[in-house]
Amino acid sequence: MQNKKKISTEDISAVVGDSRIYNVFELQKSIGEKNLSRSLEVMFHMLSAEKQEILIVSMLTRYFVVLWKLLEASKQSKNTFELSKSTGISSYFIPEYLNALQKYSPRQLNNAFFALRDADLQIKSTSQSAEIILQKMIISIIGPQR
């Protein structure tokens, strides 16, 4: 990149690498879409780059807390800005969260919290591999694919 006047997309990709494609926000999005294969792909890449299992569990817990808050708030209002205020999420992301909420029933949201809790306990108290624990967690959250 030395002596270049303009930065190309290839230059940016070389610096950023897979961080845009394989991060916790992409994992949240793919889980919100109930896309099992993409969710597992992102999770495996995240774990191969760095041990991030606790970050993954905590951020997914936060994600499902927001979905639960959105479920409750959407009973009172459909206004994006009011939903944003109620959940603490930027109004820009509210449609994405609402789409995810359409794919999860209240019971499935509740089950996600149990799966997250179980994964957290197993990561912290067993010698089982994080990949196996998180894979089971994601499959439990998303459910069987047809």
**Percent of the chain topping pLDDT 70:** 84
Specify if 2 maps to a domain.
Answer: no
Least confident of 41-55, 64-78, 113-127: 41-55
Does a structural domain hold residue 28?
yes
- The pLDDT, as a whole number, for residue 50 is 78
* CATH number where 135 lies: 1.20.272.10
Q: Is residue 3 part of a domain?
A: no
Helix (H, G, I), strand (E, B) or coil at 105: coil
The token pair that represents 89 in the structure block: 């999420």
Any domain includes 47: yes
- The reported pLDDT for the residue numbered 146 is 52
137 lies in which domain range? 9-142
Q: Which amino acid does the sequence have at 132?
A: I
Number of domains within the chain? 1
Domain assignment of residue 49, yes or no: yes
- Structural domain contains residue 20: yes
Residue 26 lies in a domain: yes
96-118 residue pLDDT tens: 999 999 999 999 999 999 999 99
35 has a pLDDT exceeding 90: yes
pLDDT of 1 reads: 46
pTM: 0.81
Collapsing DSSP to helix, strand or coil, 139 comes out as helix
Residue 1 lies in a domain: no
Lowest mean pLDDT among 1-5, 36-40, 48-52, 99-103: 1-5
